[in-house]
């Protein structure tokens, strides 16, 4: 089976969040199970500079308002994974993030930048971009790649089936309707039955309406997005797709996130020999200037600082938590108000709170390895990866019971502790009080070294490898392809 993954990010070349981790690991896992997998990415500077052995597949010339567009074929650095790169210097060779300029403003030509990505995926599927390879399945990730599904549906005959994965329904790729003509799609689709969403043009809808199958990144989020509370205005569209929407829980790259081999941490450890975690904790306290307090519950947060992540609950509960003996180590970037509030907390509580505003992969590993617990109090969370990293490193997750957090963490109740199934701490209400209570339960449990050690052990025994999810995607690809051929 030939599978083309279309995405706007891939670790380690371009990453703003968990999407990049998934796009790096899932294709490799699929290839490991025999699929012939390729990636399609925009040619940002970091991609152009890093991919290896690049050659031109087709020189398209002027299109989508750019003077020169070429499709290149290369390999991901240090890997055999083939990657198509859209070389369109006018659209992609710039600084900033994939979506925003350095001041945090959305790029004004995002419509053209990501429509071009989808359009090229459709040409690969129609077998007229690369004479040597065409996909059976086009797997598009998030709104950035969603237009692939509309172009493929609108320009038959294409034998390929499409799968669209929603990593986060809150980011929808909305554009003014007057830009419609740039897309080259039939005006018939300029309606709520097509891509219109309350007077705007929605790339997310292109995926939700036109993909043969839709997945999201946890079974619980798949149920949630069909409700008014979590549907971001698209719950009706999602309910209309019925059984075509399913949840496949993300895995983690257990070579990148493995405390037994992690080169970034002070001492390696695993469930059988957990003593190295103590060295990681001491090294982290010393690195961050936190008191070498053995009794403290050292809680970390590694996150985008956005409303989604519920970090205002952490700030509001902080005074009470510090009183209860908590230390807090935060690393993140995002909304200026949250950044300022966390920096203020650090200034007010030297030795007990440390905050690093920035993005740093190696530091994230040291935080996850050195902390006792990792807090993910999200308002919504499609899957969440940091709680999975926490489980793997025996750093117990303290999570709100939503989305993938509910699917992956088993709360430590007297019953689950007795059964040995507990892996962390969960709470329901999105309130500082509920978060505070969950953290205080962790503080209390940590006073019983035996119970805490057993909890760490069952957390570390959890396996979230990509093998199971890759098999689930392969089954789903097979079914989508059969359904497509039957039409």
Residues at the interface with ligand GLC (CB under 6 A): 17-19, 22, 167-168, 217, 250, 381-385
Q: How far is the CB of 399 from ligand GLC (least distance, A)?
A: 11
What angle is formed at CA 480 by the lines to CA 479 and CA 485, rounded to 5 degrees? Answer: 100
Residue 303 contacts which entry, ligand GLC, ligand ADP, none (Cβ below 5-8 A, type-dependent): ligand ADP
Q: How far is the CB of 290 from ligand GLC (least distance, A)?
A: 28
Q: How far is the CB of 224 from ligand ADP (least distance, A)?
A: 15
For residue 13, with 0-12 CB atoms within 10 Å meaning exposed, 13-18 middle and 19 or more buried, which class applies?
A: buried
Q: How far is the CB of 73 from ligand ADP (least distance, A)?
A: 28
Residue 386 contacts which entry, ligand GLC, ligand ADP, none (Cβ below 5-8 A, type-dependent): ligand ADP
The yes or no reply on residue 331 touching ligand ADP (CB under 6 A) is yes
The yes or no reply on residue 255 touching ligand ADP (CB under 6 A) is no
Q: How far is the CB of 164 from ligand GLC (least distance, A)?
A: 13
Residue 217 contacts which entry, ligand GLC, ligand ADP, none (Cβ below 5-8 A, type-dependent): ligand GLC
Q: Which is nearer to ligand ADP, 11 or 180 (CB)?
A: 11
Q: Which is nearer to ligand GLC, 220 or 395 (CB)?
A: 220
Q: Which is nearer to ligand ADP, 139 or 356 (CB)?
A: 356
Q: Which is nearer to ligand GLC, 43 or 384 (CB)?
A: 384
Residue 360 contacts which entry, ligand GLC, ligand ADP, none (Cβ below 5-8 A, type-dependent): ligand ADP
Task: Report the C-alpha gap between 380 and 471 in whole angstroms.
Answer: 27
Task: Report the C-alpha gap between 297 and 302 in whole angstroms.
Answer: 16
Q: How far is the CB of 450 from ligand ADP (least distance, A)?
A: 30
Residue nearest to ligand GLC (CB): 18
Q: Which is nearer to ligand ADP, 314 or 383 (CB)?
A: 383
Stretch that binds ligand ADP, among 30-38, 39-47, 103-111, 327-335 (CB under 6 A): 327-335
Q: How far is the CB of 247 from ligand ADP (least distance, A)?
A: 15
Among 4, 8, 18, 149, contact with ligand ADP (rule: CB under 6 A)? 18
Q: Which is nearer to ligand ADP, 360 or 444 (CB)?
A: 360
The yes or no reply on residue 423 touching ligand ADP (CB under 6 A) is no
Residue 302 contacts which entry, ligand ADP, ligand GLC, none (Cβ below 5-8 A, type-dependent): ligand ADP
The yes or no reply on residue 407 touching ligand ADP (CB under 6 A) is no
Site residues for ligand ADP, 343-362, by CB under 6 A, read 359-361
HEC sequence for the chain: CEEEEECCCECCCECCCHHHHHHHHHHHHHHHCCCEEEEEEECCHHHHHHCEEEEEEEEEEEECCEEEEEEEEEECCCCCCEEEEEECHHHHCCCCCCCECCCCCECCCHHHHHHHHHHHHHHHHCCCCCCCCCCCEEEEEHHHHHHHHHHHHHCCCCCCEEEEEECCCCCCCEEEHHHHHHHCCCHHHCCCCCCEECCEEEHHHHHHHHCCEEEECCHHHHHHCCCCCCCCCCHHHHHHCHHHEEECCCCCCCCCCCCCCCCCCCCCCCCCCCCHHHHHHHHHHHHHCCCCCCCCEEEEEEEEECHHHCHHHHHHHHHHHHHCCEEEEEEEEECHHHHHHHHHHHHHCCCCEEEEECCCHHHHHHHHHHCCEEEECCCCCCCCCHHHHHHHCCCEEEEECCHHHHHHCCECCHHHHHHCCCCEEEECCCCHHHHHHHHHHHHHHHCCHHHHHHHHHHHHCCCCCCHHHHHHHHHHHHHHHHHHHHC
Number of residues that bind ligand ADP (CB under 6 A): 18
The yes or no reply on residue 384 touching ligand ADP (CB under 6 A) is yes
Q: How far is the CB of 249 from ligand ADP (least distance, A)?
A: 12
Q: How far is the CB of 126 from ligand GLC (least distance, A)?
A: 28
> Which residues of the shown chain bind ligand ADP in the complex (CB under 6 A)?
17-19, 21, 302-304, 331-333, 359-361, 364, 383-386
């Amino acid at each position: 089976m030939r599978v083309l993954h279309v995405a706007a990010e891939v670790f380690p070349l371009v990453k703003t969040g968990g999407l990049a981790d998934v796009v790096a690991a899932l294709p490799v896992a699929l290839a490991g199970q025999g699929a012939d997998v390729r990636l399609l990415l925009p040619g940002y500077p970091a991609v152009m500079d890093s991919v290896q052995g690049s050659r031109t597949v087709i020189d398209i010339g002027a299109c989508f308002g750019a003077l020169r567009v070429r499709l290149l074929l290369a390999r991901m650095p240090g890997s055999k994974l083939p990657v198509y790169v859209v070389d369109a210097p006018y659209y992609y060779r710039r600084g900033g993030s994939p979506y925003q300029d350095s001041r945090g403003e959305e790029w004004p030509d995002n419509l053209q930048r990501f429509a071009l990505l989808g359009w090229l995926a459709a040409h690969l599927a129609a077998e007229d971009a690369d004479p040597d390879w065409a996909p059976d399945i086009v797997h598009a990730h998030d709104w950035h790649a969603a237009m692939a599904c509309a172009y493929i549906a609108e320009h038959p005959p294409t034998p390929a089936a499409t799968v669209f994965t929603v990593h986060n329904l809150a980011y929808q790729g909305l554009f003014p309707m007057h830009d419609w003509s740039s897309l080259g799609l039939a005006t018939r689709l300029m309606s709520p039955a097509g891509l219109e969403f309350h007077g705007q043009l929605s790339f997310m809808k292109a995926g939700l309406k036109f993909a043969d199958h839709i997945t999201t990144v946890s079974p619980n989020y798949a149920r949630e997005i069909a409700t008014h509370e979590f549907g971001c205005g698209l719950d009706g569209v999602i309910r209309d797709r019925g059984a075509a929407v399913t949840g496949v829980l993300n895995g983690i790259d257990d070579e990148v996130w493995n405390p037994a081999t992690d080169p970034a941490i002070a001492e390696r450890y695993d469930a059988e020999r957990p003593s190295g975690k103590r060295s990681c904790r001491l090294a982290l306290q010393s690195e961050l200037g936190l008191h070498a307090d053995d009794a403290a519950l050292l809680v970390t947060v590694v996150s985008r600082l956005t409303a989604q992540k519920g970090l205002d609950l952490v700030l509001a509960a902080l005074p009470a938590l510090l009183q209860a003996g908590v230390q807090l180590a935060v690393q993140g970037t995002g909304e200026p108000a949250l950044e300022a509030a966390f920096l203020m907390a650090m200034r007010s509580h030297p030795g007990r709170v440390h905050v690093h505003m920035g993005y740093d992969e190696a530091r994230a590993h040291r935080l996850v390895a050195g902390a006792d617990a990792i807090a993910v109090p999200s308002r919504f969370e499609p899957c969440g990866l940091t709680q999975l990293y926490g489980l793997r490193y025996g750093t117990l997750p303290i999570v709100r019971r939503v989305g993938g957090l509910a699917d992956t963490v088993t709360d430590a109740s007297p019953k689950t502790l007795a059964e040995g199934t507990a892996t962390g701490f969960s709470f329901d209400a999105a309130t500082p009080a509920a978060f505070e209570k969950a953290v205080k339960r962790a503080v209390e449990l940590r006073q019983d070294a035996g119970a805490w050690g057993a909890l760490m052990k069952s957390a570390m025994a959890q396996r979230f490898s990509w093998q199971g999810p890759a098999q689930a995607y392969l089954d789903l690809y097979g079914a989508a392809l059969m359904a497509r051929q039957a039409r």
